[in-house]
Structure 1
Amino acid sequence: MPAARIAQRQIGEVAGEQTRGGGTHYGSFSQRTEGVGLLVIQIGLPWWVAPALSIAGFAGSLELLLFATIAAAVTAAIHLSTGRRTLLSVGVGTLVYVALSNLF
């Protein structure tokens, strides 16, 4: 058997293993999603409530990541603009994070 065919066979086997693993993960996620959808319908809420809840939950966690990124950028900017005063820059960065978290 030529070396190219052996390499293609090995790549195909690895790709098949990765697909099976990903399918299992997607299957469990799909079951949970369907369960939430059925629960929402049984309670009597409209069909769009299930996806809206999942989008709102993701948006909430994304908001905290955005706040941390803004606070880190402010910390770096203060650190570089004030002659590398570490305590001042970390304090201002922490203040920005706390203020953003409490405002929104």
Structure 2
Amino acid sequence: MSQEMNYSAIVARAWSDPNFRESLIRDGQTTLKQLGISLGEGVIVKVVEDTESIVHLVIPRRPIDISDDDIRAIINGNPEIMKITPNQVCTGPLSDKIC
């Protein structure tokens, strides 16, 4: 991504502007480009909307620096290996304090 995406501003605009929301859902790539947000070659944007009865869980791509042993530790409840929030994946010691 060539520009920092202000995720909060995009979501707030989608909440307040039904035409923008529909445009974002229909063709997120073009809509973001119109905002000056250029994504890399070959990157596909898929915009979905949660409702009262449908919630989407986004699985982030696996960080290249996380081992299978680290993943097993995370599954077993060790929060110091990695913390995942909707906007970022933090890895390393004490990741819950830096994320």
Q: Fold-level match, TM-score > 0.5? A: no
Per residue, is there more strand in 1 or in 2? Answer: 2
- TM normalised by structure 2 equals 0.22
- TM normalised by structure 1 equals 0.22
